[in-house]
Structure 1
């Protein structure tokens, strides 16, 4: 009986520890504005949007969202929008100034509308960088979408062709997989998928064949990652 009581006590303490780890210090928008005001320095804006067709944003409008930091601070009711081209999370101050979050490396995630936008490390060749990604599904392996926007320079008039203004051109999302806390890796081929899920390679290969999973098909990738996380 004593053994059972001890086991229950350990389980309760473990559960309490998990809840404690997930607790955030909740703060309001004013605290967020003040902290960024002190840290921001010069706002870096690669291109102005004047006279450029298209949009560099995931959503043109600011949406009240929530910012979570790795220091377990939660800021509520922040007007946010994600600038895909600059890879910056922008916010609007009470006096309508548009700024970028001063220290993006401390941001764990931002919840903007229906999107959870995480700031995570990812691999480019042999280098590790950080950036914002849209979380699609999570578990031992997380799946992310990386939105892409390309800037196209203006084109001068040519024989039989009118001039074209500069514009932002939306590109297809790229997709990344992340195992636990490791850097996310880009998925570009079925071979990438097989190599990533090497511990259950046969099962994953069967699932890919049966469900016609392709690296560029978001819904199929979500199904695959959910299946893998269930194994």
Structure 2
């Protein structure tokens, strides 16, 4: 029962800040935020000659968009372009709109995924800004970053057949954000535990108690949930 309560709490915390947002059913003002626009035909043909896909989902999915934690637009057709790290929107079934995420604070909710634009820190200490998939909200937050690589065409070499231009999905990278800190990538379970230990001293006991395997995404989510439940409520 406690595990179910913690799971529900984590899902709720991710949306608490947005529950008071003004809901806008008229999308006119929303479309005004876009920096780039293209016809649906051109958008679909742009990658037609390339094998694979740059998208999380090829089709547009109805979802919600929250701008600056204050305005919520409902029933927006969304599609995430992993390769360009841009969220695309379908306007009146004829135009694909692409948003400059650096102009405002954004949250995109579609299906079982919620993306937020945030600065984050890579392995080399360099900071970037982009869309992160929020896996768990709360005082401690967990994200993952999706990545797609465009590989150029190659000619036949020996026993290897020729390959066309192609999109290849790369391994997801995971980021942990401690309270008040920019999300930082972690490369191993050891790094994850060391970071969590600074705010959740009981983290090692939690891993043992709940028999968590930190090579599994769902178990890492559960661990962050448990750590959040042990932190004082602000």
- 1:115 aligned partner: 113
Q: Distance in 1 between matches of 2:199 and 2:105?
A: 33
Is contact 2:101–2:117 with CA below 8 Å preserved after alignment? no
- 1:26 aligned partner: 23
Task: Using structure 2 for the length normalisation, give the TM-score.
Answer: 0.78
Structure index of larger Rg: 1
- 2:5 aligned partner: none
Q: Deviation per CA, 1:62-104, whole angstroms, max 9, x where unpaired? A: 1121110115111122111111111111111225222211344
Is contact 1:118–1:132 with CA below 8 Å preserved after alignment? yes
Q: Distance in 1 between matches of 2:69 and 2:109?
A: 17
- 1:98 aligned partner: 96
Q: Distance in 2 between matches of 1:20 and 1:165?
A: 46
User: Where do 5+ consecutive residues of structure 2 fail to align?
Assistant: 1-15
Q: Distance in 1 between matches of 2:130 and 2:102?
A: 8
Q: Deviation per CA, 1:131-188, whole angstroms, max 9, x where unpaired? A: 1111111211011121121221111122333211111111222111112342101121
Change beyond 3 A, Cα 1:133–1:155? same
Larger relative contact order (C-alpha < 8 A, sep ≥ 6)? 2
- 1:74 aligned partner: 72
Q: Distance in 2 between matches of 1:63 and 1:20?
A: 23
More helix, by proportion: 1
Instruction: Report the Cα offset of residue 208 of structure 1.
Output: 3.5
Equivalent pairs counted in the alignment come to 207
Of 44, 52, 58, the residue aligned with 2:50 is 52
User: Where do 5+ consecutive residues of structure 1 fail to align?
Assistant: 1-18
- 2:158 aligned partner: 159
3-state SS in 2 of match to 1:54 = coil
